[in-house]
Structure 1
Amino acid sequence: MNRFLLLLAGAILTFTSCKKADYQKVTHDPELYRTTVKKLNDIVLENNFPPVIGSRNYVYANIAAYQVIAAGDSTHFRSLSGQIKHLPATPAPPKDKVIDFQFASLLSFCFVGNAVTFPEGSMSTYVDELKQKAKDAGMPSDVFENTVAYSDTVAKYIMNWSKTDHYAQTRSASKYTVTRKDGRWIPTPPMYAQALEPHWGEIRPMVLDSASQIAAPEPPPYNMTDKNSVFYKSVIEVKTLVDSLTAEQKHMADFWDDNAFKLTVVGHAMFGTKKFSPGGHWMNIAGYGSSIKKADFGTTVAAYAETSIALFDAFINCWYVKYKANSVRPETVITKLLNPDWKTYIQTPPFPEYISGHAVISAAAAEVLTHDFGDNIAYTDSSESEFGIAPRKFTSFRAAAMEAAMSRVYGGIHYKIACDVGNQQGRKIGELVNKKLQLKIK
């Protein structure tokens, strides 16, 4: 009889262990985190959020997810509390309860990503699907309840912290005043939209001490009377390139366009089209790096968190420089002085030219991803396939960032110097993020 009871207990233990392993195979799969980030990316696109605001959603959501991972595995991951000097200590998980920290990180990501800017409920259906997935995989009810409770605790703590970053104050800040002076930015066709987020440089950064910590050189002075001036040559360079674009150059411009909302005007008809923002594009690229390197769940979350921090700070720094310089776009100069019928290849976005946002944020993200996954990581980027744009192959993250910068010149919306300086600026920001943050414990 005793032997029978032992065999029965062993069978029950084996069954329980298998069920545990079954649900962890689902909830600990890094592909599930990559899918969840993509879900937020889709919602950012659907809600037509500008790139700077999108970066705020990504950064708080990924930090929430990462803080859960660090709380559950302090042997391998270091909390961002203290590394980001204004981030309070994360609420500790209860010691007497079993928590699936990977699943909790997914739920925290969704909670914060849904609530930072969006109307509540944007990710509710997806969260319900995640919860059902965990239950179907055999997660015990007590573990499920403990996990949901802890994820909510961390998410609320991150949400409270996010409310102190000066975002709310910028919603009611003064609008940009257009000055029709040579060399100054003015709205461009076809939208003639007002300046986008002129106070974004006032948002609290994560790693930078301030928006102005990494200074950019002044742009070349406006000068269209001296054909030997840097500015005049820069204008002519853009015009010449756009007037003779190759198929490859057009593909680059289209691939990195990442216009959150493009207005197309045909006669009296107008319609808008949407794509991922530049930050959303680099979230996808972070996913490629994680997949190629076969990173585990925690390492994947750490890479997304660090990349989103670099993107967030890069946008803040870039927007500070943009509205300090207030430089005129090529389209404005060329149509006024050289050819009134001239058209850019891609649509000019509604904010000052110098420096290139794509160049800054791409270089910052590339530095972090190179630090996390290594240099010369070749990959194929199919992010734009859903918009009918063919994939592109890259030999490294840095090579992709360089192409992203140059694509803006081919698009006709930036001078090359703004892209070169932007790339240098972004690289410095990425290097600073790598230096100040140590997420993985070696």
Structure 2
Amino acid sequence: MPNNPGAVLDRPTIGTLGRLIPAPGPQRMLAASNLVFTVGSGMYLTAGVLYFTEAAHLPAARVALGLLLAGLLSLALGIVVGHLADRYGARGVYATALLVQAAATAAFVIADGFWPFVAAVSVATGAKAAGVAARSPLIRRHGGERPQQFRAYLRAVTNIGVSVGALFAGWAVQTGTTTAYDLMVLAIAALTVASAAFLVLLPPATAPPPGTGPGPRWAALRDRPYLLLTVLDGVMAIQFKVLTVAIPLWLIADTAAPHWLIAATMLTGTLMVIALQVPASRGITTLPAGAAAYRRAGLAFLAACCLVSCTTGVPAWAAATLLITAVIVHTTGELWHAAAGFEVSFALAPEHATGQYLGVFGLGAGLAEAFGPALLIGLCIEWGRPGWYVTGAMFAVTGAAVPAAVRYAERHRALEPAPQ
């Protein structure tokens, strides 16, 4: 039997369509907390920008600037809070981050100008980044012998929650009143509080984590191979904006495909992640397997970008067929990329510093979130077809570089002295 107290779900039934709910125990509580939280996230992702422009009456350009500032300010918080979670207990730190995020989100309704908006959204965004890092030690502790597999399961749950939240957000958008938008924001805050409440049912840590004695305090920032992999994963993470930014803009401006196909592409990708993320992760159980999955993902993104580039100048039916095919190919690469990231980031992170290391690894995705949309718009939309080929090549080259970076990390880890 595994010695991890959260091992109750480490069996083949996890994430299958026949059994979506974990067995009773810590994993069920984490899954429930994640589901409730991501329903709120789905509302915010769908209508958050509209809230600021329609209900708070801020110009779209100022909203974009405020969100960029908030994203940049939040980058370092993941490392700091992850370190606090390692030292003082992830459950309490994660719950605190959720409560701070809830309070900041509720403050949106009283943010009556640009700077109050920046302050509220910065605190909310920073707390969200902090929560992601603080949750990582909980996933490792309660995720069974394969916490990477449980992390894949949580990603499938996330897509379910976001889809449900998007439906509720549709009511606020359709109603279009300030009251409806305010109710949506308060509902997001309430769901975030409810997410924190589930954490009370998790068992507290019974002993200090090993390895918290002598050694570099900020080891992750000194781990050059891990930092290299963080950079490479950050470049690959720009792919998440292909489906949400580049393809919708391209479909409207450069193809004859019907505009409703945007929703169809989003739905296709979401359903694939819900159904296939856990199966896609099962064979990626070693560092070499994770490195190979990065390489496959890069090639899939290249193929998808090439397919999208062919959708201009063709009949609507052909453009629609090519776009749906491209989304399927791209999402297959996304499944591999996500699974590979789970494996590499967890396997190379010392157990006693999981929060700190995963906080560092999240920097790459944070930078992709901040700068990815502008990069893709410049390459794929403003440049056009050649930009799609350059974007695909960027992903393919990055994926091809990961195996060498993983070997470098393995050699570096082999040379490290054993913990005392």
Higher relative contact order by CA 8 Å / sep ≥ 6: 1 or 2?
Answer: 2
TM over 0.5: no
Instruction: Give the greater-gyration-radius structure (CA).
Output: 1
